[in-house]
Structure 1
């Protein structure tokens, strides 16, 4: 890609990774990200809880996949680095694990290169690419140099698919990624849903989404994108409740988190 990645930074437009960083209490965001985040929080006051619980789900899901023997991971939509990054979780299980991070925000790229440091026995790579073009990810030279797609892979799609609209062929994107995974691979994915929210909150959230970039999907539509996979118990569930016995109790209400997640095996 020509030029510095920072040449592509448009601070006047909110970006999901920077807005998520704002909700998590980070410092890597701009006025547009804060304004967008505040508008969403006004419609859904528990949005910061949702962001935190989604992050906790990532750690639990990645650990489970690593404990099942997977030693290479593809994390698409990684976001700005924060404690509990994927490589930290899985390399704690096996230090030789290999991780490829993917995001399309130049600020994420610069932070990832500076902060995502692998354990000496493992490997971490970062791709500046977009989920909406899955072949650009799968065919990337750095991915091929890091991961062996003939061996099981843990594919992580955490809080990213709700930024792919139906008219962008979300089913085709997911299908392309799944076709590249050999048997024994695992997928961990989360997706925001409005199915538990009152009509008033949905109307406010819709108003805070003027470009239509965000697409909420209910649990049934989300799960349908991954038909044919073998769900790990308990199947699709709120990210706040999935394998969360060791998390701080009591767990947040499903309505306050409004995000579903699952882990599934590729047969």
Structure 2
């Protein structure tokens, strides 16, 4: 297989990568046959999965557009994956070229691709580390040399914390980032979840297929997600089903929006 110029030499093109599988589901071009084969196999078991992932990405786009509109020009994107299709730097720098973004991911494949893709963008840094260790992230030169902690910063946790079980203390992770942020900063989060009594036993097979092929997930209720915004003032409409968080138009809200298996919200640190 011919290696494209955006794929670093130490990346195994025959070994599927979760980051490139996601890129394929999002309609990106930074994936290979091995990634597409895995992605299609998962979609056979979970046919609605692509729509779920697209909704998380659509929330990211709307959240970043909102944050830019209120004056934010610095973004810390945690668990970023491959920043290709409709990602933070494209949206923020499209509105203001001075916007700065630090992408953070633990996946070496995602980080290697990201560094290659963003080599000529001096307003973007990429950091490979575990986002659960806020102290390491916040003290890294990739962060401290680009972001000004005297000015508002938006921390993005999009489709991230449902991969952090309760035993790994997701609220404490959020608090560590929150406490380092200046007043006027923001937290934007999307999270898989449903309300008590909504779970359909017919979804069990799909959940098992996803957990086996991609990664274990922890679903949380709206109330649990609201509690994660402790110390932040929620932006309207608060914690909402993903399609219902500031949709671009009524036409973008599908028939299943009221029971969508995921929530999104943006909060401001006073």
Q: CA 1:251 to 1:18, structure 2 compared with 1: closer, same or farther past 3 Å?
A: same
Give 1:70 shift: 1.2
Give 1:25 shift: 3.2
**For structure 1, which runs of at least 5 residues remain unmatched after alignment?**
none
Matched, 1:114 2:122: no
Q: What TM-score do the two structures reach when normalised by structure 2?
A: 0.83
Give 1:247 shift: 7.2
Equivalences, count: 259
Matched, 1:146 2:146: yes
Give 1:11 shift: 7.3
- Name the structure 1 match of 2:211: 209
- Name the structure 2 match of 1:175: 175
Deviations 1:123-172 (A, max 9, x none): 11111111122211111011100001121101111101111111112121
Give 1:29 shift: 5.7
Q: CA 1:252 to 1:89, structure 2 compared with 1: closer, same or farther past 3 Å?
A: farther
- Name the structure 1 match of 2:51: 49
Is the CA contact 2:226–2:239 (under 8 Å) kept in the aligned structure 1? yes
Q: CA 1:116 to 1:10, structure 2 compared with 1: closer, same or farther past 3 Å?
A: closer
**Could you say what secondary structure the match of 2:243 adopts?**
coil
**For structure 2, which runs of at least 5 residues remain unmatched after alignment?**
1-7
Deviations 1:199-243 (A, max 9, x none): 220354146425973211122112211223100001111111211
- Name the structure 1 match of 2:128: 128
Q: What TM-score do the two structures reach when normalised by structure 1?
A: 0.84
Q: CA 1:73 to 1:250, structure 2 compared with 1: closer, same or farther past 3 Å?
A: closer
In 2: Cα distance, 1:118 partner to 1:222 partner = 37
Q: Report the aligned-residue RMSD.
A: 2.9
Aligned with residue 219 of structure 1, among 204, 217, 222: 222
**Could you say what secondary structure the match of 2:211 adopts?**
coil
- Name the structure 2 match of 1:164: 164
Is the CA contact 1:61–1:263 (under 8 Å) kept in the aligned structure 2? yes
Is the CA contact 1:72–1:152 (under 8 Å) kept in the aligned structure 2? yes
**Could you say what secondary structure the match of 1:258 adopts?**
coil
**Could you say what secondary structure the match of 1:240 adopts?**
helix
